[in-house]
């Protein structure tokens, strides 16, 4: 099964943070043997931003290295098709959340997220 990850989930997974739920951890681990974790480009942009602000201990470069060294992660570009999907989302979501949800819809993948606004919107299957 393929998954899309949001920013917090990816950071918490890469830093072994106990805020990551057991279901989310299982999803990340299951992708090691079957499936892919898709990382939206906007997630990487957000990690770059919050890492430079000192809000997380994980650096942008460490994040990229972990993704590149892993066989089960793939970066999803922000492209016109994902933007078209995002434009059709009617839920009241922040821009980056809308793009992350649109990426999950584009790849027909479950979204690993704690974000209640996305989960409650019902626009995409979520795991937490």
Model confidence pLDDT, tens digit, residues 45-80: 999 999 999 999 999 999 999 999 999 999 999 999
In a domain, 128, yes or no: no
Average pLDDT over residues 11-28: 97
Structural domain boundaries, residue 100: 3-122
**CATH number for position 10:** 3.40.50.1010
Give residue 31's pLDDT. 94
Give residue 106's pLDDT. 98
pTM assigned to the model? 0.95
**pLDDT tier at 30, thresholds 50, 70, 90:** very high
Tally the domains of the chain: 1
CA 101 remoteness from chain centre: 9
**pLDDT tier at 104, thresholds 50, 70, 90:** very high
Contact predicate 3/35, CB 8 Å = yes
* E-strand stretches of the chain: 3-5, 37-40, 73-76, 110-112, 126-127
* Helix 41-52, helix 7-14: angle, nearest 10: 60
In a domain, 127, yes or no: no
């Amino acid at each position: 099964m393929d998954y899309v990850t949001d920013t917090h989930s990816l950071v918490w997974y890469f830093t072994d943070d106990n805020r990551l739920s057991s279901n989310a951890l299982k999803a990340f681990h299951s992708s090691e043997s079957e499936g892919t974790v898709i990382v939206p480009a906007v997630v990487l942009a957000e990690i770059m931003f919050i890492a430079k602000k000192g809000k997380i201990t994980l650096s942008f470069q460490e994040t990229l290295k972990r993704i590149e060294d892993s066989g089960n992660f793939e970066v999803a570009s922000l492209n016109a098709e994902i933007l078209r999907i995002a434009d059709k989302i009617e839920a009241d979501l922040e821009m980056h959340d809308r793009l992350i949800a649109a990426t999950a819809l584009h790849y027909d993948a479950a979204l690993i997220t704690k974000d209640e606004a996305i989960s409650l919107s019902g626009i995409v299957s979520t795991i937490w």
